[in-house]
Every structure is written in C-alpha cells, then in structure tokens.
Chain A
Amino acid sequence: MSGSRMNRDLLRRLSAALGAETVAWVEGDGTPSSLRVEAPDREGFHVAAAILLEKLAPWRPVGLAKAEPGRCAVSTVAFDGILDFWPRDLVARIGAGARLGDLQALLAEQGLRVPVTSLRPGEHTLGGLFASGERGWRGGPNHRLRESVLGLTVIDGGGRVLKGGGRVMKNVAGWDLVHLHHGAGGALGVITDLTIKLEARPQAASAFALPVGVEEVATLLDSTRLPAAAAEPVVQLWLDETAAARAGFEGGGLLVVAAEGWREAVDHWASALPQGAVAVDPAELLRRACEGAFWSGRLHLGPSAVLDVWPSWSRKWKLVEPSLVLDLQTGHARVLLHREAPLRNAALIELAKAGRAVGGRLYAETEEVAIAGDAAPPDGPSSSEDPAWAIARRLKVAFDPGNLLPPLPRPVGGWR
C-alpha cells in the first residue's frame, strides 16, 4: 500500500473509532503530511494504539511536539485534567497532557505544587517531561519529576494497558514499571496518566543574584555550602560572563541562589548573603540567559572540572559566543552557543576533548559529541555490543513488539 493510501486508510479508521475531531492531517513543509491524533481519554489511546498496531503504522507519543513525516503523532494534550485528587494524602492523578504551567497555577490555588521546574512550563506536558527525563533548573536530589511520580498508566507498543506503581509514598513491589518509562522518550509506549506526589508551597521563597567571577566561584561555593551557612539553598547556579550578560547582568559571572521555607529562616538566610546580592526571579533570569541559542548541549563533568575547563575554552572560541549555566548542586552544566559559525564543530570537538581528558562528556541533547577516532557509538538498540544496549533492546522487543514506536534514547551513561 502506498504511504498516502495507508494514511488515508488510517485516518478513516481512527476517525471512525475516536471521532473526526480528534484526528488531523498535519501538512509538513515540503515533507509528506502525517497524522496527529489527540485522544480524549485512556480508552481513546488504547483504541488508537490497537489500530496503529493492526496497520503496522509507526507512531510516536507526544505532548506538544509536531508530527514527524511517516510517523503518526499520538498526542496527550486533550487528556490534561486532574483525574483524581486525594487532598489528605497530597496525591493527584493527572492526565499526561497537562502542561506544567497550567497545573502549577491550578495547584497554587490550593497552596500546593509539583516540586518540578521548567524554563518553559507552558510548553511542557507532564508526560513529555517524564518521558524525556528532564530535570528542570532546580537542583537537589528530590526536585526531579522522577522522584514525584508514584504511579502511571501506559499503553505499550503491543497495545497492553499497564498500570505501574500506585498512589502510596513507598512501594517496592516488583520491578519498576514506572521508572521503565522515565527518560524512555516514548519508545516503549504512551503514558496516559501519572499519579504524583504534591507538596505544600513553602511559606516564603527568595532568590538572589551575586556577581561572582570564575576565580571566586569555587571559594564562595564552599562557604555557602558550609554547615555554618544558614540554609542549604534550593537553587545554586553559576552563569558565566556571557550568560550573565544575556540575562542582563554585565561585568562578569553571576551566582544565583534561592532558599525557601519558613519566612523567618528565609529572611535570616537572605540577611547572611554577601553584599551586592540582588533579588531576582531565577526562572525569568535563566530564560533570558538561554533565549535565542542556536545550539544547546550538556557537559557532564562535575562543577570543579567544568570550572577548570571552561574559561580557557570559552575565551578561545568567542566567535561562537558560548555561554555556560552550571548547576553547582548537581553538576549539570548547560552549554549554549549563541552565534552560528563555520568553526562551530571544531569548537565543540575541542570542548568534548577537554572534557574527556578529565573524565567528562559533552552531549548534544541526546548524543555524545563524537571525536575523530571514536569507535562508532552503538547504533541504538540494534547493537548488542554494550550490556546496557542489550537490556534496552530486550525491553524494546517486549514492550514494542512491532517496533512501531521511535527508537530508544541512549541509556543513561550506558556506553563508554
């Protein structure tokens, strides 16, 4: 069957099963058009997955992402409500299509929140955030969506409806169907709803920016972290000179710290900060710093090594206008390039090399930046070389027997 006939056939089947208003053609720019389904409920996803499986049609679960050519996008955006709410347990079951921004606004009315951050909360769905393993801009081990999801429902590539976890705070019954889908990029099924641990909003929160150069950041870091400090900040980011300038702070690097809790404690913490600290909205400041970058990647190195490698490299490659946002608590370093230049790849390869020399890695979102002479990275789940990929491949076969879903992303730290 030709591609377009298959699409027409699929459109007919999906429209008949789910209602014409839930299925649409998405015209590509010069690429073949593809289908987008916005299922209204769990049953809708189940039906859609069954039809796609029967027709052997490739598909991708999405939140807001557009359809790709040749792959039907099954979107959760129409399934975005709070489905259950247990106020005394501070737990809610939420449609995967809920946008983080909308959800936070709704919860704020009850004095609650999901302890997760995003620079573009209006543009991220809960399902998308979980599936892409995003960690948000707020550090600390417990402020990642992974740590707040107690349970989920997923419809896998084989059309099975699977419920993982539950709604209790601790649960070690069996293998973890919830975390199987964390960071899986939709390659094992569509998450339809997530059961999430909520928390009460803190009584007070403040954030400050302080001018701190690269030479001082290490020392200052030590002193804000020392047990004698009034509080462990909930945010501790360092922006290099370029990132700071883009955020509107000229004249050198910038430390952004935030604390929250009881008003007295937060005020006390703020009063102990060094002179020159300016109150800021960290999300807004970071948005400005990251805006308009044409390339963004992550340097996996740890704060001290990043601070060793970064200054000389960024001075040398000024022409691509590099900037750095470093989370001092997690070591998560975001590298941004703001100006396209022919030597961009050479610059990145040099950074990747400098990183590797001290045991780190540079990733362009999902793939490591390759250096000449590297063995080819395992070509995704088809490679059996690396034990992580071998496990990934077996999971893929079990949960997507028709191989209709997108390829699995790289396992975290899974090949070296």
Chain B
Amino acid sequence: MAVKTGRGFAAIEYPTGMNQNGDPSQAWIKVKPDGRIDVFAGTSDIGNGSKTIQSQIVAETIGVPYEWITYDNSNTDSSPVCTGTFASRATFVAGKAVEKAAENVRQKILEIAGKELEIDPSDLEIIDGEVIAKGAPQKKISVPDVAAAATWGYGELITGTGAQLKPYATIVEPETGKVDLPPHSAISYASCAAEVEVDDETGTVTVTRLWQCYDVGKAINPTLVEGQIEGGAVQGLGLGILENCYPYYPSVEHRGGQFGAYLVPGMVDLPQIDTLIIENPSSDGPYGAKGIGEMANNAQPPAIATAVFDAVGVWVTELPITPERVLRALQEKAAGGGAPKRDGKTVIFDSNLSVNTVGTGIAFGAAA
C-alpha cells in the first residue's frame, strides 16, 4: 500500500460560437462631443471580461486610448441584440460586431477630419487619439476636436453600427435535408498534462500539477485569458475528481441535500498550474481571436484519468474519479479484470501508443 505518482495528458479541440446558423450580435457606438466614446452592445459581462476586451477592441480599431471608452451596462432595454454570453462567443462573435462598428466610427472620424484638414480621408490615420496625415505628421487634429467639429460645426453625430451573423446554411439535398454548412466557428486547440498522486489504500486522488496549453487565436488581454485558463483548470479538476450531482445515478437517493454535499474544489485542492498561451489566429474573429470560455475545463478530466492509469494501472472510465471508483477498479484488476470498459464495450487501448509507455521520456519542463 503506497501513494503512487502518475502523469497523463489529453488534447481537445473546441468550436467557438454556435455551430449552427444565425447567432447574431450587434453593436452601436457613438462619439460624444468631447471625443469620448460610448459603446452599446448586448453581451453581458458575467465575469468573462467581455466589457474589458470589447473596449480594448474599440480602442484599438478606432485608434484612441482605452480610457476614453465607456461600455454601457448591457441590458434588454437600450442594448442592441446579442444572442448572449455562452458558446464561448463573447469575444469571437460579439467582439467582431464591436470591431465592425468601431471601423465605421473610424471612417466617419476620418471623413470629418478630412474636411477640417482639407486632406482626403484615405490619406489620414488615427494614432493615440489624433488624426494624422500619413507622411506629414505635423498636419493633425485631435479626435476630441473632430468630435466637437461634428457636433457644433457640421451638425452631425459620429456613430457606427456593426453586426456579426453566421450565414444560414444552404440546403443541397431537399430529399434528405442535407445542408452545405462550412464550419464557420473557429476551432481552438488545447492540451493539458496532469500529475497526480493516488493512494492505493484509500483510493484518494490528489492532483499536484496541471500544465495547460491553449490556442486562443489572439490573446486580446493575456491576463484575462490566463484567468479563464486557471479558472477552467480548477473547474476541470473538480469535474475530474470531485463534482457530482447524483453519485449513483440513475438512483437519486444519494443526491446531496445541501450546499456542502456538492464538492467544488477549494483552495486546498489547488495544484500548481502552469499556463502556456498559443496564438494561432482565426480568420474571422476580431484580431484573430478565438474563444477560451468553455474549452478551458475540458482537457483536465481525461488528463487526470490517464495520470491515474499511469500511477496505479487502472482505467476509471466514469467521472468523477472518486476514491470508491479507484478502489473498485483496483479490486477488479486484482481479480484479473480491469480492462477499460464503458457501457459494456471494451475501450481499445494500445499500450504501445499509450501515454504510460511514451510518457516517461517526456520532459515536462523545469520543476518550479
């Protein structure tokens, strides 16, 4: 009886945004007389950071400082339509709507600046809140001055709208209803390596390290992306070894009756987390961004399961990997069984290709 260490990894791919038709997001932006910018969009920031990220996109696209942007609190009264904050779409889909709206605002600012400077708008650019003639930087006018001119001189409101909508699919075979639906949603890729300790007497699994590697297309705000990945890591740890509404489903008899019966990871469960962000740009997200929201907790459970196999040689094929399941799997193995099974089917497992076999040669990076 001993505590055994194991390592395993898993890789996933994840589509960003809804993979069917439609899924609209709209945005409206207006420039106040002092050049400060109001953004109205329907994406609620539920902690995913979308207000920050979409404000950054607006600042970058127009060419003004981030501090000039006010992102209105999304609501069902004054905000344009957005399908919502789900499907990892707040940056990828709604961020694109905001980018398009901001581009229209930029054009309008250039147009009015062109009149003021008597220069063709195509020869102007906006850098850090100033409209500057390309190649003649002494000829310039600030965005606040342009906004004031629009308001008091030209009687105009500088404004722009933008929307993002996946095209509807074309039915190519009316008899069968088969559609031609190219995958519009950017595919993100991620992998996770887990290190665990398994006590083969008690069956307890402790996750000691998680290495996380995520392709997010473009990390518009790397710290927020890192926060999503770290949060996802601990959620994935919970799904892997702790969280369960109905421990003996379909029996509901052992359903937890109160808060504490549902085991969410706490601070004491926190493993060392190492995060690597990869930028492999998408063609249709804002600045090449993809989504990070939901995929962040997908790779840990299978990585933990392979690490448990690496540690004690049993496959636990149901989540979460509770002490009871580990002990039952160890018992079954001791009795001569223990091949991986799921719903009565044997899982094909080629030990020559397994993580266990090749894993020992992999350098997992320097110890912290």
User: Is chain B a partner of chain A in the same complex?
Assistant: no
Residues of A within 8 A of B (CB): none
Residues of B within 8 A of A (CB): none
